[in-house]
Structure 1
Amino acid sequence: MNKVLFFAHLRDAVGAEYLTLDAGGKTVAELKDELVEKYDLPRMETVMTAINEEFASNDEVIRDGDEIAFIPPVSGG
């Protein structure tokens, strides 16, 4: 099982800070696609992904027990 964390507008769209999912063996892109389909998440193409607190690319494979975080771009001043 994997803990999947959501920040900013993604947290609002999912309705939770995190979900516990079975994402082991999937790529980051595959997980993003599943989440977009299930939760109608907006703008996932601009979202940064971290696996175990290290930035990850869309083709990185998730292992069982990994913690995945989806972090949208932030602006401010």
Structure 2
Amino acid sequence: MRILYFAWVRQKVGAGSEDVSPPPEVADIGSLMAWLASRSPGHASAFADPKQVRAAVNQEFCGPDGRVGPGDEVAFFPPVTGG
């Protein structure tokens, strides 16, 4: 699974992307965020408030119940505001 990080999420994690192999019980965005948060202090900081992080799976926006699996591309980014 390819994980992409953008904006302040990227800054806190300390990387723009990484390839990961989460355990089988990680099957949705919510559980993926929790699992990622356990990987390092930077990840924990980035996912400390999951409501402040948006996600896309294979370039489709989704919520915490969005399904994920091996081979997916998952992007995490802050909420976007327009002007």
TM over 0.5: yes
Displaced runs of 4 or more, over 6 A: none
Tell me if the contact between 1:5 and 1:18 (Cα under 8 Å) persists in the aligned partners: yes
Q: Any conservation in 2 of the 1:23–1:62 contact (CA below 8 Å)?
A: no
Letter in 1 for 2:49: R
Q: Which residue of 1 aligns with 2:16?
A: 17
2 CA distance for matches of 1:76 and 1:55? 17
Q: TM-score, normalised by structure 2?
A: 0.76
**Larger strand fraction of residues:** 1
The residue number in structure 1 matching 2:70 is 64
State, as a whole percentage, how many aligned pairs show the same letter: 33
The secondary structure found in structure 2 opposite 1:4 is strand
15-24 or 50-59, which deviates more: 15-24
1:33-44 → structure 2 map (5 Å cutoff): 33-38=34-39, 39-40=43-44, 41=46, 42-44=48-50
TM-score (norm 1): 0.81
Tell me whether 41-50 or 4-13 shows the greater mean CA deviation.
41-50
State whether structure 2 residue 36 is matched by structure 1 residue 30.
no
Unaligned regions of 5+ residues in structure 1, if any? none
How many equivalent pairs are there?
76
Whether contact under 8 Å (1:47, 1:72) holds in the other structure is yes
Kept in 2: contact 1:36–1:44 (CA 8 A) = no
- SS at 2:18's partner residue? strand
- Over aligned residues, Cα RMSD in angstroms? 1.9
